[in-house]
């Protein structure tokens, strides 16, 4: 499935750690937005790692699942393209 992950983290240290974590699962397309192609197992792994980083009282992370029809309708205006790399390796 195709997921769009965005976040708003006021703390620099947590924000940097979160960005590095999400980058393990997808491609950064804007400063706080990532596109990820994940199966259920990888989604669970990513959300588990996110849960360990964020402060639920201060931070916001949103994960949007896009269906295949929605994914086909994504439009990029300006530079960049929709992530298509299905070969993501988690180390």
- DSSP alpha helix (H) spans, the chain: 12-23, 40-53, 68-72
Asked, for residue 62, whether it belongs to a domain, the answer is yes
| Cα–Cα distance measured from residue 81 to residue 91, given in angstroms and rounded to the nearest whole number | 25
User: Which of residues 89 and 69 earns the better pLDDT score?
Assistant: 69
In a 13 Å sphere around the CA of 86, the CA atoms on its Cβ side amount to 3
pTM summary value = 0.79
Asked, for residue 80, whether it belongs to a domain, the answer is no
40-53 and 12-23 helices, crossing angle to 10°: 170
Instruction: Render pLDDT for 42-85 as a digit per residue (tens, 0 to 9).
Output: 999 999 999 999 999 999 999 999 876 666 766 666 666 776 66
**Domains in the chain, number:** 1
Instruction: Render pLDDT for 6-20 as a digit per residue (tens, 0 to 9).
Output: 999 999 999 999 999
Asked, for residue 87, whether it belongs to a domain, the answer is no
């Amino acid at each position: 499935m195709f997921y769009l992950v965005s976040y708003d983290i006021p703390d620099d240290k947590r924000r940097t750690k979160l960005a590095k974590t999400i980058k393990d699962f997808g491609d950064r397309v804007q400063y706080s937005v990532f596109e990820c192609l994940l199966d259920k197992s990888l989604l669970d792994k990513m959300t588990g790692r996110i849960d360990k980083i964020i402060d639920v009282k201060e931070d916001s992370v949103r994960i949007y699942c896009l269906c295949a029809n929605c994914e086909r309708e994504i439009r990029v205006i300006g530079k960049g393209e929709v992530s298509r790399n299905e070969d993501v390796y988690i180390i």
